[in-house]
Amino acid sequence: MLGSILAQDRYLPRQLHTRGDRLAFSNGIIALAAVAVVFIVGYGANPDRLIQLYIIGVFVSFNMSQTGMIRHWTRLLKTETDPAVRRRMIRSRVINSIGLSCTACVLVVVLSTKFMEGAWMSCLLMVVFFVLMKNIRRHYDRVSTELAVAEDDPEEDVLPARVHSVVLVSKLHRPTLRALSYAQASRSARTSTLEALTVDVDSGDTAALRQEWEQRGIPVPLKVLDSPYREITRPILDYIRGLRRSSPRDVVTVYIPEYVVGHWYEHLLHNQSALRLKGRLLFTPGVMVTSVPWQLESSERRRKPVEWAAPGQVRRGDRTGCGAATSTMLPRPRSARAAPVPTANRAARKATSDEATPHPRPQCHGRHGARRRGLPCRAAVRGGGGAGRPWRPLRRQARGPGAVRPARAAR
């Protein structure tokens, strides 16, 4: 809670003020748990060493709170004119002054006796946290001032003269075609230019790319950049910076095709050049970077389809539609479900079903308590009660005058 209040006042990162899905400050709880683990491991979970940190922090907070209350009453006394209210404020200030003197004496004693036993760590951490929070607040204030929209600034409403769209191409495959299609769809014919850009690191691959580009008849010009040292990032950066220098009022949009993978180790095999280039372009003013994803099969994460069983299949023992290995059935839409059967045909349909699929003889497994009490199960007595009938234990039986209950006989 304290971290969330400090984060709201911009003395801590704003993430600590965010509530989780359980309406708790999840980020603060995780950070507090991590710090607690570090202290427990560092001090070997020894309470005698950890208590030194607690004592210093507690009495420093007591001194600060009492000092704050004294300043509070002093500020109110400067403007208050009612004698009764002034006497109450003076009394409260005297109480807080007594409390400050007591806590200050305890703090001095603790610092003088426990400083070398571990209390110095608390003093050092207090100074570090104070400087850190001041710097965080200064950073947030500077960013807010920089991002504020000025009312009389005419440059805020000026639109770019043109938009240069550049699609990076390594080879002609499906991700590249998707990036080209997206760039063409996002292009404005009057104020935008579109071109594909590739780097010549291998003359054979570049010649094959040009030939395939012409064979497919792609209506986007392909520009090839020379790279004597077979470097990819620097020629692209130099070309884009040249566009910015030639037209400072223009905006350059770079489309980068990327693979979306499903396993962590696949990130080591793909998108390395794209990540390096994207990281360099983000620091170039006037350049917009657009990632065009292409999902590989490993990233689709398809869930197993839900199996569907027709009404009565489980009861009749027919497992072909639910859980069988013969076929996998998806849930039928509501429009494809069968209409309700008329009442007149239910009896004939039930008789046909009973003749075609005889019901198995039910057995009592003791779930109804009949075996424990020594009573026969009703389903077993009837020899297979009809479908859908409840299998309840038969509590009473017809017996003669001298008959003994089975439960008593068992005892």
Which of 255, 282, 299 is the last residue before a domain boundary?
A: 299
pLDDT classification of 44: cutoffs 50, 70, 90: confident
DSSP letter assigned to residue 119: I
Which of 147, 176, 192 is the last residue before a domain boundary?
A: 147
3-state secondary structure of 224: strand
Query: What residues make up the domain containing 284?
Result: 164-299
**Are 118 and 213 contained in the same domain?**
no
**Are 92 and 136 contained in the same domain?**
yes
**Segment among 26-30, 46-50, 267-271, 285-289 with least mean pLDDT:** 267-271
More confident residue, 328 or 46: 46
The tens digit of pLDDT for each residue in 336-375 reads 444 454 444 555 555 554 444 444 444 555 554 544 455 5
**Is 70 part of any domain?**
yes
Q: Are 167 and 196 in contact (CB under 8 A)?
A: yes
**Is 122 part of any domain?**
yes
- For 335, phi then psi, to 5°, come to -70, -20
**Are 140 and 174 contained in the same domain?**
no
- Nearest-angstrom CA–CA distance, 107 and 59: 6
More confident residue, 268 or 382: 268
More confident residue, 332 or 255: 255
- Nearest-angstrom CA–CA distance, 375 and 274: 76
Q: Is the pLDDT of residue 377 over 70?
A: no
CA distances from 215 to 167, 209, 218, 220 (A): 19, 10, 8, 13
Most confident of 99-108, 331-340, 371-380: 99-108
Per-residue pLDDT at 394: 47
The DSSP bridge partners found for residue 167 are 196, 255
The number of beta carbons lying within 10 Å of the beta carbon of residue 263 is 11
CA distances from 90 to 66, 78, 96, 104 (A): 14, 12, 10, 21
**Is 205 part of any domain?**
yes
**Are 71 and 170 contained in the same domain?**
no
Task: Kindly state the tokens that stand for 174.
Answer: 């499906």
In 3-state terms the chain splits into helix, strand, coil percentages (rounded to 5) of 55, 10, 35
**Segment among 149-153, 159-163, 244-248 with least mean pLDDT:** 149-153
The number of beta carbons lying within 10 Å of the beta carbon of residue 131 is 10
| pLDDT more than 90, % of the chain | 28
**Are 89 and 170 contained in the same domain?**
no
| Number of domains, the chain | 2
**Are 61 and 184 contained in the same domain?**
no
Q: Which of 88, 65, 67, 64 has its CA nearest to residue 76?
A: 88
Supply the CATH number for residue 197's domain.
3.40.50
**Is 410 part of any domain?**
no
**Are 129 and 170 contained in the same domain?**
no
Q: Are 168 and 197 in contact (CB under 8 A)?
A: yes
**Is 64 part of any domain?**
yes
**Are 169 and 293 contained in the same domain?**
yes
Among all chains, which residue has been given the structure tokens 């950049």?
225
Q: Torsion over CA of 332, 336, 337 and 338, rounded to 10 degrees?
A: -150
Which of 105, 121, 147 is the last residue before a domain boundary?
A: 147
Q: Are 177 and 213 in contact (CB under 8 A)?
A: no
**Are 168 and 280 contained in the same domain?**
yes
pLDDT classification of 14: cutoffs 50, 70, 90: confident
3-state secondary structure of 231: coil
- Nearest-angstrom CA–CA distance, 269 and 132: 39
**Are 183 and 268 contained in the same domain?**
yes
**Is 411 part of any domain?**
no
pTM beyond 0.75: no
The DSSP bridge partners found for residue 165 are 194, 253
pLDDT classification of 55: cutoffs 50, 70, 90: confident
- Nearest-angstrom CA–CA distance, 411 and 406: 9
**Are 175 and 248 contained in the same domain?**
yes
**Residue 73: exposed, middle, or buried by beta-carbon count in 10 A (0-12, 13-18, 19+)?**
buried
**Is 16 part of any domain?**
no
Region class of 23: left (phi > 0), else alpha (psi between -120 and 50), else beta: left
**Are 108 and 139 contained in the same domain?**
yes
- Nearest-angstrom CA–CA distance, 379 and 399: 20
- For 206, phi then psi, to 5°, come to -65, -40
**Is 389 part of any domain?**
no
- Nearest-angstrom CA–CA distance, 362 and 382: 10
